[in-house]
Amino acid sequence: MRYSEAVLAAPPGSAHFQPADLARLTPSTLHRVLAPVPSAPPLEDVAAALGPHPGELFSVAAALEPARGERLLRLSQRPLPDTERWAAGERLVRGLFWTLVYELEPERWVALAEAEPISPQLLRDLPAAGARVVEVGAGAGRLTAHLAGVAAVVVALEPCPALRERLRRRSRAHVLAAVTQQLPLLSGWADLATAGAAMGSQPPLGGPAALAELERVVRPGGTVALISPQEPEWFQERGYALREYPVPEIPVRPDLTAYFGPLTPPNTLLVKTV
């Protein structure tokens, strides 16, 4: 999803964040989500929004490649009307909404993930029984809990420290810090590589390098199975078969919909035999 699309699609809860909250993200997260890719905010927006907050601006700049950090500081010197700064700040918190939630409000994500269970029929169709499984973007363990119950071994990877901590506490999986674009596993190690709502066609979440890594770590004849990725048609164009499952019945949760919008339990599966 491009930055402009993420800005438009942001749930109402984005109003809860301020541009200065960016400086509360860990340096490795800032480095990842502010990389120069189409789904990341342009440095112009970061500079405009953080210009009036020099402390936060410097800590964000310090997390970037030196040349990009310097460019951010230079851009922040441009005179701008307050209305433009305000609009850039609103785009920024909307475009980075999910990262801000995972890292700064992890309990909210945990509550949402619990209220949006993955379709049980879909879980049954994952070839995880007795398998060596790698799960990327494992979050707080919504899918990991199922995998750990049936697989021979599960390696669960998650870049966000706050979610990783919860994952360690609640699952039997081997939990590591890593992004999908660079998996710390030998080629052909896994029978199944999987992700629950944690892949897409664009970095920093997904993209060609991330998909190539998932396919690299699966043995010949093994499976890559992606649950409700963004832009499913991008995966279909790359040989993945789409399966759709009934959406589980879930209780109405006005507290969650007020913040996140309509609840959407994951119910699609994109599968490929490698």
Ligand X SMILES: C[S@@+](CC[C@H](N)C(=O)[O-])C[C@H]1O[C@@H](n2cnc3c(N)ncnc32)[C@H](O)[C@@H]1O
Q: Please identify which residue in 23, 123, 163, 269 interacts with ligand X, judged by CB under 6 A.
A: 163
- Candidates 39, 171, 180, 230: give the one binding ligand X (CB under 6 A): 180
Nearer to ligand X, 142 or 272 (CB): 142
How far CA 132 is from CA of 30, 63, 142, 179, 208, in Å, comes to 32, 35, 18, 19, 23
Q: DSSP letters along 191-228, please?
A: EEEEEES---SSTTT-SHHHHHHHHHTEEEEEEEEEES
Binding to ligand X, residues 191-230 (CB under 6 A)? 196-198, 204-205
- Whether 190 and 219 have beta carbons less than 8 Å apart is answered as yes
- Cα–Cα distance, 45 to 168 (Å, whole number): 35
**Cβ distance to ligand X smaller for residue 1 or 48:** 1
Site residues for ligand X, window 81-100 (CB under 6 A)? none
* Out of 11, 41, 95, 139, the residue judged to bind ligand X by CB under 6 A: 139
**Which tokens hold the place of 184?**
């710390």
SS3 18: coil
Per CB under 6 A, does 167 bind ligand X? no
Going by the DSSP 8-state scheme, the letter that residue 51 receives in this structure is T
Judged by CB under 6 A, the residue of 3, 102, 234, 259 near ligand X is: 102
113 is a contact residue toward ligand X (CB under 6 A): yes
Min CB(51)–ligand X separation in Å: 27
Residue from 28, 245, 23, 12 nearest 121 by CA: 245
Alpha helices in 76-188 (DSSP H): 82-95, 97-104, 106-115, 120-125, 144-150, 161-170
**Residue numbers 56-75 binding ligand X by CB under 6 A:** none
Question: Are the beta carbons of 18 and 93 closer than 8 angstroms?
Answer: yes
- Residue 148 interacts with ligand X (CB under 6 A): yes or no: no
Out of 160, 225, 226, 270, point to the residue binding ligand X (CB under 6 A). 160
245 binds ligand X, rule: CB under 6 A: no
Q: Which of 50, 128, 138, 183 contacts ligand X by CB under 6 A?
A: 138
Q: Which of residues 5-64 bind ligand X (CB under 6 A)?
A: none
Pick the binder of ligand X from 51, 89, 106, 137 (CB under 6 A). 137
Q: Contact positions toward ligand X, by CB under 6 A?
A: 102, 113, 136-139, 142-143, 158-160, 163, 179-181, 196-198, 204-205
